[in-house]
Chains A and B, each alone.
Chain A
Amino acid sequence: MSDTDFEVRVVRALRAPVPARASARQLIMDRVRQIPVAERPRRSWATYGRAVRQSLIGLAFAAGIGSITTLSAIAPTGMQSARNAGVVSGVVIGDTVVNRLRDTLRLVRLMFDDTHARQVAIAGDFNAWNGQATPLHREGGSGRWTATVAMHDGDHRYAILVDNTRRPGRLHIARTTD
């Protein structure tokens, strides 16, 4: 057998699949679930400053949204309530056409009330569950926190992140009248 043939045979043997027990993956996830909540990995709040600067700008560029600065102009005519049963409420304040995706998204103002919170953000299926992408900002000295996001109509799952705690919830977004 030539050196080349030998090496080819070795490489093929090394790449042959190695069957694992069917329960192997389950065992790993079982061990993950046993880890105390306090020891589970979570996004550090220290990185939030960068996210605050990038969130809406990044969202606009990534989605190809024409202009978020037009929100105030379209808000009065397009405003529809979309309250969910949880702690976060959303108000559709307009539509935006995403040219790259050839799709229309709702611009939604998310609102959350907590007078004692120091930092609030939201992660969900609308931002790839990225806990840094969508921080909420306190409105003046009030206890209301808000952010504006673009999302499709329909049901969305989210987790509101409040001072290192998280609360899961669901949000339904729909434009009820035109």
Chain B
Amino acid sequence: MSDQAIIDRVLAGDDEAFGQLVDSHHDRCTRIAFRILGNREDAEEAVQDAFLRAYRALASYEERERFQPWLTRILVNQCRTMRARTERRELVFSDLELHEGLIGSFEESSRDAWPDLDHALSRLPSEQREALVLRYADDMTYEEMSRVTGAGESALKMRVQRAFARLRTLLGEFANV
């Protein structure tokens, strides 16, 4: 069943049908949120809040737009809110405590064999990190990314390019420690 057909069912009163949208998009949303936020608990909270916001806003969802980018936009906004909260948290804890906390989360959550990458991602400027994740963790086109983030396509391409360069430098530094 298509996303639109499920949305029609929810709007007609079949609230349990929303669970099918959750099933379809949860893994993708979790991957995006985790790569942007770098922390499992924050990512799960952002995903939950994004789905709740999407559910409440379904009546205003326009059929001409695909559901997936619409949901992603909500999720990215939620991640930005969460990140702002995290940055306030960073002011409270020392760099050492924060660093140890992040490494612990990554080792627990990420099964790919490159934990240093997650560490390096956490050191990227947030705009670069967000652009890189949307482009490659979610396989979005620059046009879709532009609609989701509100940034221009050329600016997004530049952010991705700079993110790769910065990652390479950071991972080289980690390797030499």
Q: Mark B53-65 against chain A: 1 for CB-CB distance below 8 A, else 0.
A: 0011111000000
Q: Say yes or no: B11 contacts A43, CB within 8 Å.
A: yes
Shortest distance between the CB of B4 and any CB in chain A (Å): 8
Q: Mark A43-85 against chain B: 1 for CB-CB distance below 8 A, else 0.
A: 1100000000000000000000000000000000000000000
Shortest distance between the CB of B79 and any CB in chain A (Å): 14
A42: chain B residues at CB < 8 Å are 11-13, 59
| Number of residues from A at the complex interface, CB < 8 A | 42
* B146: Cβ under 8 A from any A Cβ: no
A17 CA to B22 CA in the complex, in Å?
A: 16
B27: chain A residues at CB < 8 Å are 17-18, 20
Interface bin, chain B? 35 or more
Q: Say yes or no: B13 contacts A166, CB within 8 Å.
A: yes
Shortest distance between the CB of B76 and any CB in chain A (Å): 15
* A11: Cβ under 8 A from any B Cβ: yes
A110 CA to B11 CA in the complex, in Å?
A: 21
B13: chain A residues at CB < 8 Å are 42, 123, 131, 159, 161, 166, 168
Q: Say yes or no: B55 contacts A16, CB within 8 Å.
A: no
Q: Mark A111-142 against chain B: 1 for CB-CB distance below 8 A, else 0.
A: 00000000000010000111111000000000
A166 CA to B26 CA in the complex, in Å?
A: 29
* A101: Cβ under 8 A from any B Cβ: no
* B23: Cβ under 8 A from any A Cβ: yes
A133 CA to B10 CA in the complex, in Å?
A: 14
Q: Say yes or no: A18 contacts B110, CB within 8 Å.
A: yes
* B81: Cβ under 8 A from any A Cβ: no
Most chain A C-beta atoms within 10 Å of own C-beta, residue among B13, B52, B132, B137: B13
Q: Say yes or no: B111 contacts A16, CB within 8 Å.
A: yes
Known contacts A17-B31, A18-B43, A24-B26; decide if A43 and B112 are in contact (CB<8 Å): no
A159 CA to B8 CA in the complex, in Å?
A: 12
Shortest distance between the CB of A8 and any CB in chain B (Å): 10
Most chain B C-beta atoms within 10 Å of own C-beta, residue among A41, A43, A161: A41
Sampled A-B contacts (23; CB under 8 Å): A6-B164, A7-B164, A10-B132, A12-B112, A13-B112, A15-B31, A15-B137, A17-B27, A18-B30, A18-B31, A19-B109, A25-B23, A28-B48, A29-B16, A29-B19, A32-B51, A32-B55, A35-B55, A41-B57, A41-B59, A44-B59, A123-B13, A159-B12
Q: Which residues of B contact A (CB under 8 A)?
A: 1, 5, 8-19, 22-23, 26-27, 30-31, 34-35, 43-44, 47-48, 51-52, 55-59, 109-112, 114, 117, 132-133, 136-137, 139, 164, 167-168
Q: Which residues of A contact B (CB under 8 A)?
A: 3, 6-7, 9-21, 24-25, 27-29, 31-33, 35, 39-44, 123, 128-133, 159, 161, 166, 168
